[in-house]
Amino acid sequence: MTRRSRKEIRERFDTVLEYFPILKTRRNSLAGYLSGGEQQMLVIGRALMARTRLMMLDEPSLGLSPILVGEIFKIIKKVNQEQKITVFLVEQNAHLALSIAEHGYVMENGKVVLDDSVDRLKENEDIKMFYLGLTEMGAKRSYRDAKFYKRRKRWLT
């Protein structure tokens, strides 16, 4: 059914403003004049208005301040849990993505080379080393040491 009652539209709009109160103050602004974080909030809000069951987000942290990134990701997780919306998230910040995901896929050169539950991915030595910057002992590695890695062939088996 594509026709919605005004009441239903108002309820959805109010829900969006509960998640993103800053958008209430920016209601009369053009989207192009919103900050990057506000634009991300607007994108998620539009998906909520459409009552989608699957939300696909490509790099929602791109170009945002660390504080705003944390806020956006908390809201993404909250929307997933409260609205029962499946979120397909493409994100290079592996720490952040793994902190809110249930299942993860690792892609290299356009091919999925590994997929598993987040708990198992966090324990995978390759993920720790190449994507989380950790050594076998859990210590941080320097970028200089990690940047010349060679992908382990076992991912492709």
Question: Which DSSP helix (H) or strand (E) runs through 83?
Answer: helix 66-83
| Alpha carbon distance 138, 87 (integer Å) | 29
pLDDT digits (tens, 9 = 90+) for 11-35: 999 999 999 999 999 999 999 999 9
* Residue 133: per-residue pLDDT: 78
DSSP 141: P
Task: Check if the beta carbon of residue 44 is closer than 8 Å to that of residue 51.
Answer: no
Is residue 57 exposed (0-12), middle (13-18) or buried (19+ Cβ within 10 Å)? Answer: middle
Q: Which domains does the chain have, with CATH numbers?
A: 1-101 (3.40.50.300), 103-157 (no CATH)
pLDDT digit of tens for each residue in the chain (157 aa)?
456 789 999 999 999 999 999 999 999 999 999 998 899 999 999 999 999 999 999 999 988 888 889 999 999 999 999 999 999 999 988 999 999 999 999 988 888 989 999 999 999 988 888 888 776 655 665 655 555 455 555 555 5
Describe the chain by its helix, strand, coil percentages, rounded to 5: 50, 15, 35
* Residue 57: per-residue pLDDT: 94
Q: Cα dist. 11→51, 67, 71 in Å?
A: 12, 29, 23
